[in-house]
Amino acid sequence: MCITLFNFIDTDQSMTISKKSNIAAKLIQRHPKLTHTENIKVTSHVQRESGDWQLNTLMLDGVNVPFKYKRKKTYKNLTGNRVNITYYPDTENVAGFEIEIMKIVRIKVA
């Protein structure tokens, strides 16, 4: 099984599912809208508080869409690291404009 990013995102051969990603493959089978990408470089990582949660925003190498997820605690800075992520597309309303984002459901440092 080989799943790559959406058509609007430039992809390369290193961004596919490996045989080790059994959990990701099971998630994708149960939820067809999910996409899994491996070994992609984080170019920017921002964390900010929102109540009890830490909101994290990642920008990935060659991708112009922000990837967002929440955690209860502050996480180490991922800038420069390669990560494996499972995510789905979503939209966010900012100042009256709808902006496309990706919501991360699973993230691991590669």
Per-residue pLDDT of the chain (110 residues; tens, 9 = 90+): 333 444 344 444 344 445 556 776 777 777 778 888 889 999 999 999 999 999 999 999 999 999 999 999 988 899 999 999 999 999 999 999 999 999 999 899 98
What's the confidence (pLDDT) of residue 10?
43
41: CB partners within 8 A, 6+ apart: 60, 61, 80, 81, 82
CATH number at residue 84: 2.40.50.110
- Domain containing 91: what range? 22-109
In a domain, 14, yes or no: no
**Which pTM value belongs to this model?**
0.73
What's the confidence (pLDDT) of residue 8?
40
In a domain, 102, yes or no: yes
- Per the structure, the count of domains in the chain is 1
In a domain, 11, yes or no: no
Length of the chain: 110
What's the confidence (pLDDT) of residue 22?
73
What's the confidence (pLDDT) of residue 7?
39
